[in-house]
Amino acid sequence: MPNQHKFKAAHFAPDGVYVTDATGSDSIQEVENYIDNMGSRWYFYPFPFVISETTGKVRSCNTAFPECKNMTIEQVSQHIKLNEEYCYAMLNS
């Protein structure tokens, strides 16, 4: 039976705004590889996560926010908004 789960990337800005990309991917690894090779085109959304399209929850944190695993996109957005200064500090270091 083929894998029914699909995954996508969600890229967050330091103010919690996000965009999604690489939708319909078949595996977490496929999205992680996409993120690793995306270059600078997501400069304004520097915090990427792998999201399950089935549950809407974070399945992999390719960022400095490991506590976000299993959160929904909206929960991550709120968490990042609450930690906006930390985000900018990470980007400026």
Give, as one character, the DSSP assignment of residue 56: -
For tokens 């299993």, name the residue.
70
**pTM tops 0.85:** yes
Per-residue model confidence (pLDDT) at position 27: 95
Please answer whether residues 35 and 27 qualify as being in contact, where contact means their C-beta atoms are separated by less than 8 angstroms. no
Per-residue model confidence (pLDDT) at position 3: 58
| Token digits of residue 78 | 């709120």
Per-residue model confidence (pLDDT) at position 43: 82
Query: CA of 54: how far to CAs of 8, 51, 60, 89, in Å?
Result: 10, 9, 14, 33
List of the chain residues with pLDDT < 70:
1-3, 41, 62
**Phi and psi, residue 76, nearest 5°:** -65, -45
